[in-house]
Chains A and B, each alone.
Chain A
Amino acid sequence: MKFKITLISLILFVSAITIKKGFQLKYPDYFPKPTYDLKKNILTKETIALGRTLFYDPILSKNNTISCASCHSSFNAFAHTDHSLSHGIDDLIGTRNAPALMNLAWQKLFMWDGAINHLDMQALAPINHPKEMGESINHIIDKLNKTAPYPTLFKKAFRDTIITGEKILKALSQFQLCLISAESKYDQVKKNKKQFSDQENRGYILFKKNCNFCHTEPLFSNFTFANNGLAIDTTLNDFGRWQVTKKSEDSLMFKIPSLRNLSYTYPYMHDGRFNTINQVINHYIKGIKQSANLAPELKKGILLSSNEKTDLIAFLITLNDSAFVFNRNFAYPK
């Protein structure tokens, strides 16, 4: 009897620990602590798998043609290559370039203007947007309820078959939280597994002097907003952060993107106006448009000789993470 009780309580104790622990995100020790509160959305393999299935399923759009992956392709570090502005249902074109999805657990505000205040809520924006997926969360719930294997997948993930908005959003978050890019050459160097070449080292020094204040290591963004001296495109009249806060000092401020995986995520800037890294660097050297709220570090532009530019690019290329881009666990589920 005593033995039985001990055994049962031991089993309960162990299972309680495993349930509470769930699935652990793996990231290097030089990364900061995630800003996403993982206690409020305990990761499990089943929920991550559900989120991945939803991410790749066009059922989330009004006419079942566009999935999250349509504009966030794993082969492009979850950005939308070759399109300056991303397109959604019925070939409608939006006003911004779809950003890359990686290291989202360390970000608080989403979208180029920070209009979204939490990763969980982010998916609602493209789902509802008439030019993106044009769908409502309630209609998605109706469709999922009628479509196998979703009721089973929800049961596996949440232990009941009732599909809600909360569960859909949390499952999508769980998959996206797993999209951690930390295997680039830069990371190998940080982990003492590889060494930079002399040229990459020179580029790294230039990077730290000229770029790191906004594109801060090790995530290569401080995820705040800045006016980086882009002239306004009058065909779009996108004033960025101002559209959310309505404060004049936020005019033309956009979210600072991470530089990780930059070779996979062209074109660049919120409206995809630059196709190459070279064009981006040239903008910082000689294209800065002066204005009152221009990032102070850019007031004088960035001074680089053509050799220095080549060195800087050599360093930036070390931020590409092919292990992330070609990770089968993040690709279309088969």
Chain B
Amino acid sequence: MIFIGFIFSAFYLFKPKPITLSFLPYFGKDSLVINKNYFSEIISDSVSIQSLRFYLSDINLIKNGRIIYQVKNQHNLIDISQKLQVKLFTKSELEFDSIQFDIGVDSLSQVSGAMGGDLDPMKGMYWSWQSGYINFKLEGKSNICNTRNHVFQFHIGGYIFPYNTIQHIILPVQNKTNINIKLNIKKMLSQIDLKNVNQIMSPSEKSVEISKQYANFFSIE
């Protein structure tokens, strides 16, 4: 009995710590706080963010261009007000030089019917009138938007060519157990003509353009 207990504790001791992947939303140099007013020089007006959610999927750790660790068939709904971390449970300590992941839901899962967990349509990331997941959702306010209550809404989705919005991201990172990935919303918004483009809620050329813009502003802290 003692022997079994010893094996178990040894196993536990040698099991590597999970790698924690944390998403850190920023507005310029500041940590992004929900509903807080920030100033954007580009539009010379204030901006506040009410919600930021996106699907994180297909995470790979890479060493010399080869995949050494892979999370398959798992979609994590990252939400600024609920969940910003994902843990990777590796079997042994790994050496890696970069991380890859997708922002969005892959095209096979998009057509696979009702699913649970983070993909359950009750999570509010599914378009009911035209099937498909919203890959990335950003909602906020700015006086520059000539809309009701000055809101802007970017619901970015679409999985069928030519409006495929899933984005593949590769970032260099060295063997860390805590990987912090910044997403700079200020830089993303600076690429968008917010006065004229503020309501995107269906697959279109604009959705594809915006998906490319936010994909550019993920970086390792």
Contact = CB atoms under 8 A, between A and B. Distances in A.
Interface of A: 37, 40-41, 115-121, 124-125, 127-129, 137-138, 141, 164-167, 169-170, 173, 244-246
A244 B128 contact: no
A244 B122 contact: no
Contacts of B160: 245
A118 B120 contact: no
Contacts of A141: 122
B2 interface: no
B205 to A, nearest CB: 9
A119 B112 CA distance: 10
B186 to A, nearest CB: 32
Contacts of A244: 130
B112 A169 contact: no
Given A137-B121, A141-B122, A166 B131 contact: no
A116 B122 contact: no
Contact of B113 (A115, A120, A127, A246): A120
A138 B129 contact: no
Summarize B's interface: helix, strand, loop or mixed.
loop
A139 to B, nearest CB: 10
16 contacts: A37-B112, A115-B131, A116-B130, A116-B131, A118-B113, A120-B113, A121-B113, A124-B126, A137-B121, A141-B122, A165-B114, A165-B121, A166-B122, A170-B113, A170-B114, A246-B204
5 nearest A-B pairs in the assembled complex, by CB-CB distance: A120-B113, A165-B122, A120-B114, A124-B128, A169-B114
B121 A173 contact: no
Contact of A121 (B116, B124, B131): B131
Interface string B108-135: 0011111110001111101011111000
B142 to A, nearest CB: 27
A208 B114 CA distance: 37
B22 to A, nearest CB: 27
Given A137-B121, A138-B122, A165-B120, A125 B114 contact: no
A169 B114 CA distance: 6
Interface of B: 110-116, 120-124, 126, 128-132, 160, 204
A125 B113 contact: no
A120 B126 CA distance: 13
B122 A125 contact: no
Given A40-B112, A166-B114, A166-B116, A117 B132 contact: yes
Given A41-B113, A166-B115, A173-B114, A121 B121 contact: yes
B128 A166 contact: no
Given A124-B126, A125-B128, A37 B120 contact: no
Given A137-B121, A141-B122, A165-B122, A128 B129 contact: yes
A40 B128 contact: no
Contact of A117 (B111, B120, B123): B111
A108 to B, nearest CB: 8
A40 B129 contact: no
Contacts of B129: 115, 125, 128-129
A142 B153 CA distance: 26
B108 to A, nearest CB: 11
